[in-house]
Chains A and B, each alone.
Chain A
Amino acid sequence: MKYFEDTVVGERVAVGRHTFRADEIKAFAARFDPQPFHVDEAAAARSHFGALVASGWHTAVVWMRMMVEQRRRLAEAARARGEPVAAVGPALGLRDLKWFKPVYVDDTIDYESEIIGMRTSRSRANLGLLTIRSTGVNQRGEAVISFVSTTFVERRPVKE
């Protein structure tokens, strides 16, 4: 991750792409969100969804995993260039998490994140806060998820 000072509002990153298979949809939901339309094809077919759909939490945590992997790749590239890597996280929370459309079996979601706000931390002089909007779009070009999160990122150390 870049330092707070090296980041600008409007910066976007392609986070990654994931295809949701039936087995993983059911396995995730069985652990964390066992509503019938997430765990059982027959029940899902009778529901208003008409077929098995991924838990919205599942759609969200797949973004998290790919975001962490993306940051790791960027950090490794920066270290290879001999550049410092800023610490990032934890997040304070999120808002406006929207599940616009269901994610059905074998849907492929492309995730993107954009920095929409920045401010320095009032209580911690070495940290800034980034406000990030993340979205997921399916293979038909329809937005399926969006949310806004706020996370700490390290500021560039002041030279002695």
Chain B
Amino acid sequence: MSKLHWEDFTPGTVAVYGPRLVTREEIVAFAAEFDPQPMHLDEAAASATLLGGLAASGWHSCCILMRMIADSFVNKTSSMGAPGVEEVRWLKPLRPGMKVRVRTTVLETRLSNSRPDVGFVRCLAEMIDEHDDVITSFTSPLMLRRRETGTRP
């Protein structure tokens, strides 16, 4: 299958992927490895915090979001990675047993100033729950190779 390039993205395009079940086991495993705060590890400790019960690390929700967009479209593109993330918002707790989807919106496309073979696709990725409420979102300029200038730098 030929890959999607920068030219294939149009501002305003919205796509939804999923659902994906998030388990208690993976929430605790991620937290034990990368964010071992009690609110992500233990129900009793979590219920005493602002989260009001066990919830995934915000970094975990970002990582799940990343994996979902990688599987659904990033790995079908000429992706060169991203230079960063403008904003990450943790709006609602990600709880064990939730089925989440990802909604992506192409906000803007522009060419690189320094590299004629590269363009940016500025993308909003939102993790949404069963009620379409946003749990976590991030906005990031994805770097993609352009089709016209060939596939090699």
Contacts and interface: CB of A to CB of B under 8 A. Distances in A.
B12 interface: no
A94 interface: yes
B150 to A, nearest CB: 13
Given A57-B59, A94-B88, A34 B67 contact: yes
A99 B66 contact: no
Interface string B98-128: 0000000000000000000000000000000
Contacts of B79: 35
Interface of A: 31-37, 47-49, 53, 55-57, 60-62, 64-65, 68-69, 87, 89-100, 147, 152
A52 to B, nearest CB: 13
A76 to B, nearest CB: 14
Grouping DSSP codes into helix (H, G, I), strand (E, B) and loop, the A interface class, with mixed when no group exceeds half, is: mixed
A92 B80 CA distance: 29
B57 to A, nearest CB: 7
Contacts of B59: 57, 60-61, 64
A79 B31 CA distance: 24
B64 interface: yes
B83 to A, nearest CB: 6
A127 B58 CA distance: 20
A33 B70 contact: yes
B81 A34 contact: no
Interface residues of B, number: 34
A36 B80 CA distance: 10
B85 interface: yes
A69 B34 CA distance: 10
Nearest to A89: B37
B74 A35 contact: yes
Contacts of A98: 83-84
A151 B74 CA distance: 30
Nearest to B140: A97
B77 to A, nearest CB: 10
Given A34-B75, A61-B59, A90 B84 contact: no
Nearest to B145: A48
B57 A95 contact: no
A47 B80 contact: yes
Nearest to A102: B81
A32 B82 CA distance: 15
Contacts of A32: 63-64, 66-67
Nearest to B64: A32
Contact of A152 (B50, B63, B64, B84): B50
B80 A33 contact: no
Given A93-B87, A97-B88, A57 B80 contact: no
A61 B75 contact: no
Given A35-B79, A57-B63, A99-B84, A92 B153 contact: no
B51 interface: yes
